[in-house]
Structure formats: structure tokens, C-alpha cells
Amino acid sequence: MKRRTFLCLLSLAALPLLVWAENVDLSVIHRIKVEAFQNSKVMDYAFYLTDVYGPRVSGSPNYRAAAEWVVRTAREMGLENPRLEKIGPIGRGWSFSRFSAHLLEPVQAPLVGFPLAWTAGTEGPVTAEAVLAVIQNEADFAKYKGQLKGKIVLTEPARQLEPRTTADFHRWTDAELAERARAPEPGQMPFAMPFPRPGGPPSPQFRQMMQARELRSKLARFLKDEGVLAVVTPGQRGDYGTVFATSGGPRELKEPVPPPTVALATEHYNRIVRLLEKKIPVKLELDVRVQIEEREVEGYNVLADLPGGRKKDEIVMIGAHLDSWQGGTGAADNAAGCAVMMEVMRILKTLGLKMDRTVRMALWDGEELGFLGSRAYVKQYLADRETMALKSDYHKFSGYFNLDNGGGKIRGVYLQGNDMMRPIFEAWLAPFRDLGVTTVTIANTGGTDHLSFDAVGLPGFQFLQDPLDYSTRVHHSNMDVYDRLPRADLMQASAVIASCVYHAATRPDLLPRKPMPVPPARRAEPAKPAPSN
């Protein structure tokens, strides 16, 4: 055998030793798998969060009821100090208790849809003529001034629907996972953030979003002043009766509440538009009953602990967001993540595993409103991302693990650019390779609460999950319901995260961190000239 070949084989043989040097306890992993796969409660938790308490719009009675149920359940598990913790005011409260929509003329037909959050109700059934008033900018206001009083208004043209040529449901293939594991080319961002970093210039996406929000606010004022009875839209997207929609009005008390606004299935919306375009009169009936609290409603995170041993002042944290939108029951987004995290705590508690560090579960409020709950927690206990003024717990915080990409099984993890975590995650995840967990990628991912921790330089991670039909069918839609949650996938995720948490809580050191971010104020300072010789 040539020397070069021998050295190559020797290095390959040594690789598992380097990985396993992270001190993975296979006996504990075996116990975790048995408990997670044979005695699972994850679907029970998902049932209560969805069928019993969903939807859970932030600031609504349903959200508060769900949060209190989590506290009671955590207490029954034997967790320490389960509690609701205030995050500050989130704006006016909103919920709805009834929705129905019907086409009455030229023929009768029920219509599929739901009301948009933070818009008004009809205060009982109302019947009115439908009119098409396509308004795409402020200049269009003049076209319809004085013509819309007492009407049900459709403000968008018909939406073209194309035949589907790909399946809604998908699991990552080995080739796709290998591609996701590839590092981006030098100089390229692996993820373009839609929200600006503190002190940084706004991104084009953020400016576009703010312009759309401003137009929506002006349109709501115009329609309200014109005496519109209600507004009907086709939602953000969707077909085959799936409606994707979230809010239609502002939470801020200083802004007026828009007229009753509902999103209909695109096929039903298009039918009405075609009738109106052919000059055939259309009469609609709507019944939208909402409850609006014209006061600053308080937001609440849900927290509970498993106390550690000799390093109990150091924290390993897990979390998912408890709030949801109103179209479905908030199942894949994100009762799935909440149920998994509750199951993780149950597994660790049931097995009586001795851990050096305290494990803390947080179910966040206001994630859908801009990570309000996780940002409030980080600012109160860890660091102010605007100034990077550190709080007492910053140097005792090990890491945060998040789950919020639907109900799909875990296939790996995003490192968020933290190269130092690669060998650690590779060791932790290796025992789950036969369950599909194969990928550790340097890439960033966004859109959820781990970003609040990453923004202040703390280890915060979101797991890579099978997409299933999350983006194509359930995310922020009327199909986000319990039936879209695969039981086996949530059981697998519970075991994977429980193992990662156990090993993070027992390893000798805190998890390695990226360099601490520079505060925005310091980034804006002009560079100092080099000292002269």
C-alpha cells in the first residue's frame, strides 16, 4: 500500500474518533428514543393547542387560554416555576367568533374564507351589492369617490390560476440535502434578511413592505370615509380552496380600524369578479363578528424550568412560538414546535436525567408580529441589541434551540455561520442518522425566534426540517390544522431535540459563540485616522 493511501485511510478512520470526542452518551440517547417513540404525548399536546385552543392570535382570549393551559400542564409534568411573563403592550386586542359568507344573486352559493385580523365586524348579517373597485395606488381613490357607500367592495382584479405541475408535499432528497450543506460562495449572503439590522440601512424588501403598509393604511381610511359596508379580497395567494391571509389592519391604537375585511378562496373570488365584469349584478351576504379591545393589550411568554445541578445558574434554552394566525388553528405554525418542546421537557423530566445546567422552555408570544416575545426576553435578561449593553445572564447562557418550520421531521441544523458548532452538532446528530438527520449546514435561516439570540451574539439555532406541504398548503392558511401534523415526524423531532438539550446541559463548557456584535452606534462612527509615526 502506498504511503499516501495509507495516510488517507488513517485520517478517515480517525474522523469518527474526532466526532465522538464530544462525549455523546449513547445509553441516554437510547432511553430518550424509547420514551419518545413508545410513550409519546406530543400529539396530545398538539390536540389541545389546536382543536381546543386554536387559533391563538396574539392578544386574543384564545392565546391567553392556551398559555394558561401550558402553565397548568407544565406544573403537572413537575417542571419548576411554570409562569406567564409579560413582554409589554402589543396593541389592540382582536379575535373573531363567527364568519359566514354567501353569494345570494345571481344564484346562491356558500363562500370559503375568513376575516382578516384587526379589521372590524359587520355586527350581524349584512346583505349588499358587490362592486369591483381595483385600487392599486392613491391616484385610484378619485375614480371611486362617492360611489362606494353601502357596498361590499372587491379591490383586486381576478387572480390567474395556473394548473399545478408539481406535488404540494415534499421531503428533502439526499441530493437536495447535500446541496443545502454546501457553503455559499465567498462574498455571498446565505440568507437575505427582510428586516434591517439595528442601525443599518433598510433593505429594499423592508422599504417595499413599509410602502405597502402605508398604502393599506390610506386605503382603509378612504374606504371607511366612503362608508363601505365591507371589503372582500382573494387573500395573499392560494388555490383549491386554500386561503392564505393574516392581518388587514393596524394594531396601533392611533390608527383607525378598517372596515370588515374578509379573504375568500381565489376560485370563489374570481367567480364574483367575472360576474361583475360581465355587468351581471351580484349580491353578497356576510356575517363577521369580531371582538376588538381598544386598549393596549399585554403580551405574555410562557416559561418553565428543569433545574440543573452544579451549574444550575447556566441556561440551555428551547423554544417555539405559541401565537398563530386566525385562518386555521395554528397547527404547523406553530403548535407543532410548541408540542415538541413540551414533549422534550416531559421526556427529560420523566427519565430523571441529571443535568448540570438548567433547561428552560419558552413558548413565545408575538412571533408573528416581529419576534416580540423572544426580543423582549433577550433584552430583559441577556443583552440590548441596540447598545449591546450586557445583562447578568449573558455570560451564563449556553444556547437556544428553536423549532418553527412546520411539522416535518428534523433533517439537520443551520449553524448560523458558527463554524465552531459544526463538530458538536455532527457528534450530537450522528446517532439519528438512520432517522434521516444527516445535514449540518453553515447557512443562516431566518423568520423565527432564534434570530433574537443570534442578533446579540449568542448561540441560537433553528433545525432543518422536511418541508412537507408547509409553504404550499398550510403556512398562514385555513388548512393549518391538526390533520396536517405527521405524528412520526413530531416524535422524531422530540427525540432529536431532547438529545441535543441533554448534551448541551451536561458538556463541560458553554456552547462556543461567534464574536460579539458591534453596537449600531459604534458601527456608525467614522474610522479613526491611523496614528502618525
And the C-alpha cell for 467?
A: 418541508
Say how far apart CA 264 and CA 266 lie, in whole Å: 6
- pLDDT value, residue 532: 45
- pLDDT value, residue 199: 53
**Domain identity same for 97 and 244:** yes
**Domain identity same for 344 and 414:** yes
pLDDT, average across residues 182-189: 78
**Domain identity same for 261 and 357:** no
Q: 251: which residues sit within 8 A by CB, 6+ positions away?
A: 59, 90, 91, 92, 94, 118, 369
Query: What mean pLDDT, rounded, does the chain reach?
Result: 92
- pLDDT value, residue 88: 97
**Domain identity same for 379 and 286:** no
- pLDDT value, residue 207: 79
- pLDDT value, residue 231: 97
Q: Does the residue 10 lie in any domain?
A: no
Say how far apart CA 293 and CA 110 lie, in whole Å: 30
**Domain identity same for 310 and 321:** yes
Q: Which DSSP letter does residue 247 get?
A: B
**Domain identity same for 406 and 512:** yes
Q: Are strands 298-306 and 80-89 parallel, antiparallel or unpaired?
A: antiparallel
Please identify, among 293, 313, 336, the residue that sits at the C-terminal boundary of a domain. Answer: 293
Q: Does the residue 29 lie in any domain?
A: yes
User: DSSP 3-state assignment of 525?
Assistant: coil
Q: Does the residue 9 lie in any domain?
A: no
pLDDT (tens digit per residue) in 219-265: 889 999 999 999 999 999 999 999 999 999 999 999 999 999 999 99
Here the contacts of 467-470 (C-beta below 8 Å, separation 24 or greater) are 467/170, 467/171, 467/172, 467/405, 467/406, 467/408, 468/169, 468/170, 468/171, 468/332, 468/406, 468/407, 468/408, 469/168, 469/169, 469/170, 470/332, 470/333, 470/405, 470/406, 470/407, 470/408
**Domain identity same for 149 and 61:** no
Domain housing 486: 22-90+297-518
CATH number at residue 239: 3.50.30.30
Strands (E), 258-306: 261-264, 283-293, 298-306
- pLDDT value, residue 14: 43
Amino acid letter at 307? P
**Domain identity same for 259 and 384:** no
pLDDT (tens digit per residue) in 205-223: 777 878 878 888 888 899 9
Residue indicated by cell numbers 418542546: 341
Please identify, among 293, 310, 344, the residue that sits at the C-terminal boundary of a domain. Answer: 293
pLDDT (tens digit per residue) in 374-420: 999 999 999 999 999 999 999 999 999 999 999 999 999 999 999 99
**Domain identity same for 395 and 312:** yes
* Dihedral angle sign, alpha carbons of residues 402, 404, 410, 411: negative
Question: What is the percentage of the chain residues whose pLDDT exceeds 90?
Answer: 84
- pLDDT value, residue 4: 47
Residue indicated by cell numbers 359568507: 101
The gap from C-alpha 120 to its chain's centroid, in whole angstroms, comes to: 25
**Domain identity same for 306 and 442:** yes
Say how far apart CA 247 and CA 255 lie, in whole Å: 14
Per-residue pLDDT band for 437 (boundaries 50, 70, 90) equals very high
- pLDDT value, residue 230: 98
Say how far apart CA 213 and CA 249 lie, in whole Å: 9
Residue indicated by cell numbers 361590499: 152
Q: Does the residue 14 lie in any domain?
A: no
Lowest-confidence range among 184-193, 354-363, 393-402?
184-193
Q: 156 versus 525: which is more confidently predicted? A: 156
Domain count, the chain: 2
pLDDT (tens digit per residue) in 273-295: 999 999 999 999 999 999 999 99
Q: What is the pTM of this model?
A: 0.92
**Domain identity same for 301 and 367:** yes
- What residues are paired with 306 via a beta bridge? 359
**Domain identity same for 101 and 130:** yes
Please identify, among 293, 328, 362, the residue that sits at the C-terminal boundary of a domain. Answer: 293
Q: Does the residue 255 lie in any domain?
A: yes
Tell whether the model's pLDDT for residue 190 goes beyond 90.
no
Tell whether the model's pLDDT for residue 12 goes beyond 50.
no
